[in-house]
Structure 1
Amino acid sequence: MFDRSRRNLLSRRRTPTLQRLPWVVDEDTFVDSCTRCNKCISACETQIIVKGDGGFPTVDFTRGECTFCTRCADVCPEPLFHPTTEQPWGIRAQINPSCLAQHKIECRSCGDVCEVQAIRFKLQAGGVATPELDADVCNGCGACLSVCPASAISMFTTEREEK
Structure 2
Amino acid sequence: MALLRRLAKRGRLQNMPYATSELTEVCLGCKNQICLSHCPENIITLNPDNLPTLDFSSSGCVFCGECVNACFEHNGEHCGFDRAREQTQVVMKISPNSCLAWNKSICYSCKDVCPKEIKYLGMFYPEILSCNGCGLCLSRCANDAISVEGR
Q: Structure 2: give runs of 5+ residues left out of the alignment.
A: none
Quick one: distance in 2 between partners of 1:63 and 1:84? Answer: 24
Q: Which amino acid aligns with 2:133?
A: G
Q: Displacement of 1:46 after TM fit?
A: 0.4
Distance in 1 (alpha carbons) for counterparts of 2:82 and 2:103: 42
Residue 95 (structure 1) aligns with: 94
CA shift in 2, pair 1:104/1:42, >3 Å = same
Q: How many residues align?
A: 139
Are 2:47 and 1:48 aligned?
Answer: no
Secondary structure at 1:106's aligned position in 2? coil
Structure with larger Rg: 1
The Cα of 1:146 is off from its aligned counterpart by: 0.6
Offset at 1:109? 0.6
CA distance in 2, matches of 1:16, 1:109: 19
CA distance in 2, matches of 1:47, 1:57: 12
Residues 22, 104 of structure 1: CA spacing in aligned structure 2 closer, same or farther, 3 A cutoff? same
TM-score (normalizing by structure 2): 0.81
Flag the 1:14–1:91 CA change in 2: closer, same or farther, 3 A: closer
Say what the alpha-carbon RMSD is for the aligned residues: 2.2
Give how far 1:17 is off.
5.5
Unaligned runs of 5+ in 1: 1-10, 159-163
* AA matched with 2:65: T
Structure 1 window deviating more from structure 2 (100-109 vs 78-87): it is: 78-87
Verify the 8 A CA contact 1:36 1:57 in the aligned structure 2.
Answer: no
**1:54-106 superposed Cα distances (whole Å, 9 cap, x missing partner):** 22110011120101000111111332533312343342111013111122221
Question: Following TM superposition, by how much is the alpha carbon of 1:14 offset from its aligned partner in structure 2, in angstroms?
Answer: 4.1
Q: Quick one: higher RCO (CA 8 Å, sep 6+), 1 or 2?
A: 2
Aligned counterparts of 1:143 and 1:17: Cα–Cα separation in 2: 11
Contact 1:36 1:56 in 2 (8 A): no
Q: Identity over the aligned pairs, expressed in percent? A: 33
Correspondence 1:4-153 to 2 at 5 A: 14-16=9-11, 18-26=13-21, 29-34=22-27, 35-76=30-71, 77-78=74-75, 79=78, 81-96=80-95, 97-115=97-115, 117-123=116-122, 129-134=124-129, 137-153=130-146
The separation in 2 between residues aligned to 1:107 and 1:17, in whole angstroms, is 21
| Distance (whole Å) between structure 1 residues aligned to residue 147 and residue 59 of structure 2 | 13
Alignment CA distance shift 1:14-1:81 (3 Å): closer
SS at match of 1:16: coil
CA distance in 2, matches of 1:139, 1:17: 15
Closer, same or farther: CA 15–88 of 1 in aligned 2, 3 Å: closer
